[in-house]
A and B are shown apart, each in its own frame.
Chain A
Amino acid sequence: MSAFSAIGEEREIDRDEYTPSVEPQATWCPGCGDFGVLKSLKQALPEVGRSPEETLLVTGIGCSGKLNSYLDSYGFHTIHGRSLPVARAAALANPELEVIAAGGDGDGYGIGGNHFMHTARENHDMTYIVFNNEIFGLTKGQTSPTSPKGHKSKTQPHGSAKTPIRPLSLALTSGASFVARTAAVNPNQARDILVEAMNHDGFAHVDFLTQCPTWNKDARQYVPYTDINDSDDYDFDPTNRADAQELMRETEDKLYEGEVLTGIYYREDDRPSYQQEKRELGELPEEPLAERYFDDDYEWERSYDRFIDKHK
Chain B
Amino acid sequence: MDSEKSCKESSYFMKSVFIKLRSESQTVILFMIGILISLFVLYPFLVLLIKSLMNEGRITLDVYIRILKDQETYKAIGNTIYVSLGVTLLTSLFGGTLAWLVTRTDYVYKEAIKKLAFLTFMMPSYVIAISWIEFFGRNGYWNRILRNIFGIYEYRFIPYSLEAVILVMSIHLYPLVFMAIANALGKTDPSLEDAAVMSGASRLKAVITITLPLTIPSFIAIGLLVFSRTMANFGVAAVLALPVGEEVLTTRIYSGLTNLDLQLAIAISVILVIFSGIVFFMNNVLMRKRRFTTMTANAQKAKLIPLGKWKNSIVFFVILFQSITTIIPLIVIVTSSFLKRWGLTLTLDHLTLNNYVVLLFKNQLTRGAFKNSIFYGCIGASIAAGVGGVVSYISNKTDLNGRKLVEFIVTWPMAFPNMVLAVAATLAWMHPPFKLYGTRWIIIVTYIALFLPIIIKNVSGLIQNQDVFIEKAGRMCGASNIRVFKDITLPMIMPGLRSGWILAFLIALREIPISLLLYSPGTETIGVMLFGLKSNSYGLEMTSTLAVVIIGMTIIGHVLLKKVKGLKMEVEK
Q: Do A and B come from one complex?
A: no
